[in-house]
Amino acid sequence: MANRKNEGQRLGITDPISLTGPTYFDLCKTKQLQNYLENAQLYETPDEALAREEVLARLDQIVKVWVKSISRAKGLNEQLVREANAKIFTFGSYRLGVHGPGADIDTLCVGPRYATREEDFFGELGRMLAAMPEVTELHPVPDAHVPVMKFKFSGVSIDLLYAKLSLWIIPEELDLSHNSILENADEQTVRSLNGCRVTDQILRLVPNIQNFRTTLRCMRLWAKCRGVYSNVTGFLGGINWALLVARICQLYPNALPSMLVSRFFRVYTQWRWPNPVMLCNIEEGSLGLQIWDPRRYHRDRYHLMPIITPAYPSMNSSYNVSSSTLQILSEEFQRGNDICMAMESNKEDLEWDTLFERFSFFKAYNNYLQIDINAENGDDLRQWKGWVESRIRQLTLKIEKHTLNMLQCHPHPGDFSDKSKPFHCSYFMGLKRKQQGPGLPNQDGTFDIRATIAEFKGIVLNNYTCWKSGMEIRPAELMAPPILNKCFASVPREKPTIRFGSSNWRTQKGLKKSQVWQRKWNLWGLNLMQKQRGDQPKCSLVNEEDILVGGNVADPTVPNS
């Protein structure tokens, strides 16, 4: 299974671009790349690997005890109780073999038809886990698009999904790759099974698994260094990068990782989006499940960077990509291609660390949007963060829409915290004008996005059904925030392109932060009224002098883990 390049079977929807084998240069560069990845501490130790295997074995034992317990509680006959079984599968980076030290393990519990998701999985199994001393930070999310239980087991982070099959008995040798496994399954089960089915199919469709893994480790590290590793904020996540790398492996089946990295950038620099990236032909299936098909489904036509999953039902794994994030990804692909071409031509004495140079987010823009959130305790903040982070992509889309796609939004994929402020964190978004055009509503060439920001805040607050007292969100438009000025005082800044208005007031000493922010929003409302009457707004939502009310960042160059 590890190497299929000599089996004569074509993998992919087209013939390979090249069957050329490695040169001496490729061998040397691949060795250097492997050393670089090892020095970057991307590989776990044997003891850490053993600890993960022990946790997975223990978790498998727990779900087997759980399913027997509920089979007895439901009054099933003795034979069904005796044969009752549940099974743990892994997927994601752990199953692909590219996980690093401390990474979480994506797991799936497969149970029989009588074990329900709400009552039995989140209920009974959740109570069993909560009672165990090895389990900490248990956080069930039953209302998520893919319902999940998050927790730590003996210090190992686990994301546990659940799939209820139509079977009375779950065989120990169950194969999830057969489409029959999806018969009579609900939507949550189909989505939960999708992770395992896609991961296993990727491993079947690459010609050399070891070369695939090394190349994928490299591209995951590169994407994180360049700030484009985040599905939730509109870039690409783990499964997206795995599919992109797998397609390059199909196109260059005999290449070593150094050449695969170079060809990755070459191919995707020239890729004509929205042409989809696919590892195999899309299967229609006989179960009637919806697949990605822009000819049939109107919504699929608006996907900008479709990367299609290879298992039935095929879906676009990158539907979160927006116009702005696609532009940023394209620029990063071009930069990677330029560096790889320079290394191959030996025109410059470049090493791999040039490719992995970290993107200086806070030096790249003249204007930033800061979103501060806080809660009353750690558990509330963790839930509130998850909700707000999932909505940031909507803010990107709204800004693009309201400026007629002329303002580029670059959301930072991480969050930042100030240790002096408990239960608080900040998100940042870089803003810049793409080019002159009809999207500029103001005569002076600036954008006024205050109404867009206020609309976003209202949607975040009003649509969150689990809101608790103390959960707050405070968006603030920044022109070179003071904390960033201190860190990057030597960075030249051009004329701002974002409208902030003129300031006729300053933060008053003695006011509570909540009072100051209430006054800000009241003044913002007054601005809108004045604007509707045709008057020039006389007050500002935010200015440089009082921006600290929104929450400074201790060190904006180091995001939270």
- Tell me the binding residues for ATP: 91-93, 104-106, 159, 229
Helix H or strand E encompassing 205? helix 187-205
Q: What are phi and psi of 394, to 5 degrees?
A: -65, -35
Q: Backbone dihedral region of 470: left (phi > 0), alpha (psi from -120 to 50 degrees) or beta?
A: left
Q: Backbone dihedral region of 550: left (phi > 0), alpha (psi from -120 to 50 degrees) or beta?
A: alpha
Are the CB atoms for 433 and 497 separated by under 8 Å? yes
Are the CB atoms for 29 and 343 separated by under 8 Å? yes
Q: Report DSSP letters for 154-199, one per residue.
A: TTEEEEEEEEE-S-SS--TT--TTSGGGGTT--HHHHHHHHHHHHH
- Binding site members for Mg(2+): 104, 106, 159
Q: How far apart are CA 218 and CA 411, in angstroms?
A: 23
Q: How far apart are CA 265 and CA 268, in angstroms?
A: 5
Report CA dihedral (157, 163, 167, 171) to the nearest 10 degrees: -20
* Nearest to 561, CA basis, from 103, 55, 93: 103
Alpha-carbon 117 to chain mean position: 25
Are the CB atoms for 161 and 121 separated by under 8 Å? no
* Nearest to 98, CA basis, from 197, 269, 189, 218: 218
Are the CB atoms for 161 and 109 separated by under 8 Å? yes
- Binding site members: 91-93, 104-106, 159, 229
Q: What are phi and psi of 148, to 5 degrees?
A: -150, 150
- Token pair, residue 469, equals 């007292």
Q: Look-up: residue for tokens 């165990």?
A: 132
Are the CB atoms for 423 and 378 separated by under 8 Å? yes
Helix H or strand E encompassing 88? strand 87-91
Q: Look-up: residue for tokens 């964190």?
A: 425
- Token pair, residue 62, equals 């727990």
7-36: b (≥16 Cβ within 10 Å) or e = eeeebbeeebeeeeebeeebeebbeebbeb
Q: Report DSSP letters for 55-66, one per residue.
A: HHHHHHHHHHHH
Q: How far apart are CA 182 and CA 187, in angstroms?
A: 10
Q: How far apart are CA 57 and CA 20, in angstroms?
A: 43
- Token pair, residue 154, equals 């003996």
Task: Please state, as a whole number, how many other Cβ atoms lie within 10 Å of the Cβ of residue 498.
Answer: 22
